[in-house]
Amino acid sequence: MKGKIFTLFSLFMLLVWSCGSDSPKVKVSENAVAQESDGTFALSLDDAACYSDADNPASNTAEWKVVVSEPGTYKVWLSSATRDTTDLSYINSVRISLLDKLIEVDPAIDRVVLDSKEVSFPYFRADSYAGSFYFSEPGEYSIQVISEKILPKEAMNTSKEESIDTKLVSVILTPMTR
């Protein structure tokens, strides 16, 4: 009888201990971008780790760490600031990568956003659909974009900006609904 009580008490204590203990937490980088309340990610170039090559601008790169809380498929949109709403004038394809998936796209204008807070006159925001990514589980991921339209911050703060017709300003991930 005492053995059964001891066994039941031990099982009860094990259950209480296991339910009360914290599960391991995902380690998150301090500059990682979290999902907005509607599930989207707005990845601004201002928040990216950027690398630029003056000799080969086609290899200019922006990278973000994102924290996915809801797994699933997300549409990928490129947002450009442009003066010409009929032609974005990208010379090379834009490459967007997540893990082992690569999207390569020649951006075309799918929608023009007139009252965007991301850009100011004389620019308009033009969004280009690029494809989709699938996140299989919650966690932290790296997203990388390579394009000649990722301009170094120094170029944006000089008088050369007046001669820039198009520049990449952000990448937007929106959850797909069924």
Question: Which alpha helices (H) appear in 116-162, and where do they start and end?
Answer: 153-156
Q: How far is the C-alpha of 129 from the C-alpha of 145, rounded, in Å?
A: 14
Q: Residue 105: which residues within 8 A CB-CB, separation 6 or more?
A: 78, 93, 94, 96, 128, 130, 131
Q: How far apart are CA 72 and CA 133, in angstroms?
A: 8
Q: Which pLDDT tens digit goes with each residue over 56-115?
A: 999 999 999 999 999 999 999 999 999 999 999 999 999 999 999 999 999 999 999 988
135 pLDDT above the threshold of 60:
yes
Q: Is the N-terminal amide bond of 57 cis, ω within 30° of 0?
A: no
Whether 74 contacts 66, CB under 8 Å: no
pTM of the model: 0.80
Q: What is the CATH number of domain 31-175?
A: 2.60.120.260
Whether the predicted pLDDT of 31 surpasses 90: no
Total number of residues shown for the chain: 178
Share of residues in the chain with pLDDT > 90 (%)? 67
Look up tokens 């807070």; give the residue: 117
Whether pLDDT at 17 is above 70: no
pLDDT of residue 159: 46
Between 144 and 12, name the one with better pLDDT: 144
Q: Which residue has the higher pLDDT, 25 or 56?
A: 56
Nearest of 63, 64, 44 to residue 167 by alpha carbon = 44
Residue 19: is its pLDDT beyond 50?
Answer: no
pLDDT given at position 166: 94
Radius of gyration of the chain (CA): 23
| Range of lowest pLDDT (59-68, 145-154, 157-166) | 157-166
Contact 76, 133 (CB under 8 A): yes
Report the chain's mean pLDDT, rounded to a whole number.
85
pLDDT for 50 equals 95
